Structures are given as structure tokens and as C-alpha cells.
Amino acid sequence: MKRGLKLILLILIISTIPQLSSAACTDSDGGDIRTKLGIASNESVTIADTCESIRTVNEAVCDDGSAIELLAQECPVETRCYNGRCLYFENAPCEDTDGGIEYSEYGIVTYNDDTILRDMCDPDSALLTEFYCQGGIPWSVKYVCDSLRCSNGACVDNEEDLGAEIPPDEAGFPCNADNIFWTDGYNHNIEESGIGLPVYGFVSGDGCDGAYFHLNVIDASDDSLVEDLGELNFGFDGDSLYWYNISSWVPSSEGKYYLKATVYGAGYSYEIDNSDNPIVVSGDCEPNPLPEGLECGNDPITGEPLTPGNDFDCDGVDDCRDQWLYNYGGEVDPLDGIPLGMSGCLGFWDCTNAQWSQCMKNSEGRLTRTRDITRCTLPSGSSCPIAPSNEKSCLKEQPFPVFGWLNSLTVIFMLMGYYLVRKKNL
């Protein structure tokens, strides 16, 4: 009997000890190899080598364990940092079709056989960006065309024209930002939202190391500026191997709105927008009818029945039953609005330190509970791109954690007390 009781106690104690997972780290270029582009990754993050400047590369390497370190390393002599690696001049041939600095001639610089830089004009002035080769690598100089004008990458007189301007998608810029759309924050495109709900502008592209963009919200009815979302640097996503960034915006009035981004790189800039696919902001989205046999329920404070017919997050689920209360672009459960297929990923988050508040009315007059999700953490070795909700309806209560660590400790102490009492009485 005593031996069996000890075995039970041992099993319970072991079950409360956190399990440590080994998150192996790999580096595709084998470590601090500055002349190769490498991508270091472990089970929770992926980081690529990047250029901090023309002479410095940020090498992503694995430390002695599973973590990833960023080492700022100087490029070797006679090399230049490009796309996360240091290139030798002789290994990166540079050619210029106009033979050098020729302001009156349109030229194209080809570097490393895969980078094309074209002489270009500022659309709002007579400023020319002239690309040229020097020492085997490309450089640029800006030049004002004085009394002339700038047309198609060259300074010309008012009668002369070298042809139509080259469209950005054909210009061969190193940063090819070709994706711009509205998202719910979880990389799902959305076309409709409600007033007061955050939406997100998403811009991505290829080869955008060192580039950035300026993002604006535009009213589709008159192309006027609604809000300046500021400048954002492109960040690298190791899973999809593209460069991107995202900015939030909270619409305050009904209408149609689109995004406009001005992309900036070394000596070039261009604009992209999603005016052909604006977001429609509404103050009164209509929910789908409640499924047969379901009712809204009662106000948890007053006990009065809740009124159906509201759908502020425009997901089709009546807010009187909606447990998500977010503008999620993917499919949701028609009964509670929770995104389908996400319960497993969301379950990774440990939100024991993010306690739900008491039921209170939010800005839309709905009774909800809120919590500070910055207190939620992911265990080592786990990853989840979906953030836990910081707001939920008051209709559902949190389940009691039967097998939580506190309950396990309580059982252990009760068994130990029972064992000591029996031992004393024997």
C-alpha cells in the first residue's frame, strides 16, 4: 500500500514539471560566412542575413544552443554588401549602356547579372537619378536638369522627348513590391469592415532588402488623403521568402478606401495602390439569421434579453452570440464567430497572466470582457501567427482548468496529508 502511494505521488510530481523542448537551430550558409546569403532558423523564428550598410552585413548565426544571434560584420576589402552577402568586384560585373555619367542619355546598369538599375526622372521635378559603374559596382548621382526637363531617364530640351516613362512594374527595380491589399491582421484579404474595427494595410515584394515605403489611406470617392500611416521598412519572412510590412488603421466613417504606397530604394521610387479593390466600411452590417433553436441569450448583468440584429465586425454572425468580435477575413463558425481550424494554434498561447475583466460595455455598447494580451506568451518551441483575442462576449464563461498546475499541487498536498495522517495512526 505504501509503495503504491509513493508511486502515485511520484507520478503526480513529475507531471507538474515543465517539459523542456530542444529547438534545434540551423544556418543555411554554415555560420558566419559573409560572402553567402544565409537563413538561420529554429522552431520559433527565421532570420535572414541582411545588409546594414554598403560595408556591413548582419550575419544571422546559431549560438551554442538553439538561439539565433545577429552579428554586425564588416565586409572584406574590395567587397560590397548586397542582398545579405559581401560580393567581390570581380564576381559581380557591372555594365552601363550609356558608358558612365551621361545626363543627356538614358542608360541601364546591369550588376551581378541579375540586378537592373535604370536612369530615372522624379515625376514632380527636373531631378534625374543617373546610375553608373565605378570599381565594378553600381553607384548613383542626382542631377537637376537646369533649364532642361527630365524625360525617361535623361535631360532633354522642351522639344525633345525620348518616349513614354517606363512603368514601375517593367523598370526592373531591385525591390519589386507587387502586393498591396487590406487584411484582417492574419494575412486574410478583406473587402468589408465596420466602423471602429482595426484593419491593416499590407505591402510585400521581392528583393526589398534596404528598401522602405510610405503608406497612405485614400478615399476612393475623390482620391483625397484620409490618413498618413507613415514610413515602414520592409522585413524579411523566412517561410515565404518575401519582404513585407503591415500598418493598422481604424476607420471612423462609412465609405470606400484604398491604400497607396510609395516605395523607395537606392536611387529610385515608384507608387503602387489597390484602388481596384478598396475596402467598404459600413456602420450597420447585416448578420445572418440565427440558426433555428438558438437565441441571443440574456444580459449577464441585468438579466434582460439581448437584442439581435448587430454585426459590427461584418462576419455574418450576430454580435449577441459572437465570441470573436474581430474582423477576420477567413471562414468562421456560424454559431460563435470563432475562426475555423484555429483552436489548436490558439491553444498554444499561455494567457494565465492575462485575466479577463468583468463584463463592461465597449464603444459599440456591447457587453464584453477584455484582457491585456501582451501578457500572453508562447512556450519555447511553439509558434502561432495568430494572436489570442483581447475581447470576447459575456455570453460564455471561461472553462475551469481541471488539470491546471494549481489543482495538481492541491491534489499532491491532499494526498501527502492523507499519507501522513495514516502513518501517524498506524
Kindly report the CATH number assigned to the domain that includes residue 271: 2.60.40.10
Is residue 6, in this structure, part of any structural domain at all?
no
Is residue 16, in this structure, part of any structural domain at all?
no
Q: 290 and 262, same structural domain?
A: no
Helix (H), strand (E) at residue 396: none
Based on the structure, what is the number of domains in the chain?
Answer: 4
Q: 398 and 326, same structural domain?
A: yes
Q: Which of 282, 316, 345 is the last residue of a domain?
A: 282
Q: 81 and 218, same structural domain?
A: no
Is residue 253, in this structure, part of any structural domain at all?
yes
Is residue 2, in this structure, part of any structural domain at all?
no
Q: 192 and 148, same structural domain?
A: no
Q: 98 and 73, same structural domain?
A: no
Is residue 234, in this structure, part of any structural domain at all?
yes
Q: Which of 240, 267, 282 is the last residue of a domain?
A: 282
Residue 45 corresponds to which amino acid? V
- Domain containing 102: what range? 92-166
Residue 398 has what pLDDT? Answer: 37
Q: 205 and 219, same structural domain?
A: yes
Q: 121 and 205, same structural domain?
A: no
Is residue 9, in this structure, part of any structural domain at all?
no
Taking residue 348's Cβ as centre, other Cβ atoms within 10 Å add up to 16
Query: How many Cα neighbours within 13 Å face the side chain of 60?
Result: 23
Q: 289 and 374, same structural domain?
A: yes
Q: 372 and 263, same structural domain?
A: no
Q: Please report, in tens digits, the pLDDT of each residue of the chain (426 residues total).
A: 555 555 555 555 544 444 333 457 888 878 888 877 778 888 777 777 877 766 778 888 888 777 888 888 888 766 777 667 777 655 556 788 888 888 888 888 876 655 667 787 776 677 888 888 876 667 777 788 876 778 878 888 765 544 444 444 344 456 888 889 998 776 678 888 888 788 889 998 887 877 889 999 999 999 999 999 988 888 877 666 678 888 888 888 999 999 999 998 876 788 999 999 999 998 778 888 887 777 787 766 677 777 888 888 788 888 888 777 777 777 788 877 777 766 556 667 788 888 888 877 776 666 778 888 778 887 766 666 566 777 777 654 333 444 455 556 776 777 777 677 666 666
Residue 207 has what pLDDT? Answer: 76
Taking residue 299's Cβ as centre, other Cβ atoms within 10 Å add up to 16
Is residue 348, in this structure, part of any structural domain at all?
yes
Query: How many Cα neighbours within 13 Å face the side chain of 368?
Result: 19
Residue 227 has what pLDDT? Answer: 93
Burial 82-99 (b: 16+ CB within 10 A, else e): bbbbbbeeeebebebebe
Q: 231 and 125, same structural domain?
A: no
Is residue 358, in this structure, part of any structural domain at all?
yes
Q: 102 and 85, same structural domain?
A: no
Q: Which of 48, 72, 89 is the last residue of a domain?
A: 89
Residue 322 has what pLDDT? Answer: 79
Q: 198 and 298, same structural domain?
A: no
Model pTM?
Answer: 0.46
Residue 167 has what pLDDT? Answer: 42
| CA angle (374 as vertex; 210, 370 as ends), nearest 5 | 130
As beta bridge partners, residue 1 has: none
**DSSP string covering 124-153:** TSSEEEEEEEETTEEEEEEEE-TTSEEETT
Alpha-carbon gap, residue 334 to 288, rounded angstroms: 9
CA 72 to each of CA 27, 69, 121, 247: distance values in angstroms, whole numbers, following the listed order: 16, 10, 35, 28
